[in-house]
Copies of this chain bind each other. A is one copy, B any other.
């Protein structure tokens, strides 16, 4: 149906998001420009303006999609954990978190990195909240609801720290991140249980 170059793209909004994700995967973040994304989508450099006011909002929407996928990934990881104890589920989520960061470093950078890049679109706010609540629920299953907030801060901090040090290549070379996540996971959970006593 679509002619070779119809004036109206038909689904440009989604095409821009996909082009943006692809660009994020191919290029360093600094080179992902509005014009580059438009180029990849085959439209003029000002075409995104109508669908996303600014570059920040476009990236914000991409980050929001990333969070949606992130939540699903962690949920299935927890559900497929070998033993269905709270601790085992939590450790599985931590592993999945690191794998997600490694598999989609660009999206992860947008989602958790310095927020300069993307704007806080409503979708992004909601998706981020969902991710936090998922984590807090998992922690609450170990330490109880009262200590869930602080415990979630520990879990998120440590895994996020490991992942972001890893992505920024700021880990000393002798550290293998997958080995580290095993030990970090054990220690964090031990720390949680110690505090729950």
Contacts and interface: CB of A to CB of B under 8 A. Distances in A.
A88 interface: no
Given A169-B115, A191-B191, A192-B187, A157 B154 contact: no
A168 interface: yes
**Which of under 10, 10 to 19, 20 to 34, or 35 or more describes the interface residues of A?**
35 or more
Given A157-B165, A160-B165, A115 B170 contact: yes
A164 B154 contact: no
Interface stretch (A33-41, A44-52, A69-77, A106-114): A106-114
25 contacts: A28-B116, A29-B114, A29-B116, A113-B114, A114-B164, A114-B167, A115-B170, A128-B170, A132-B172, A149-B174, A150-B183, A151-B187, A153-B175, A153-B180, A153-B183, A154-B188, A157-B157, A160-B165, A161-B161, A161-B164, A187-B194, A190-B191, A191-B191, A191-B194, A194-B194
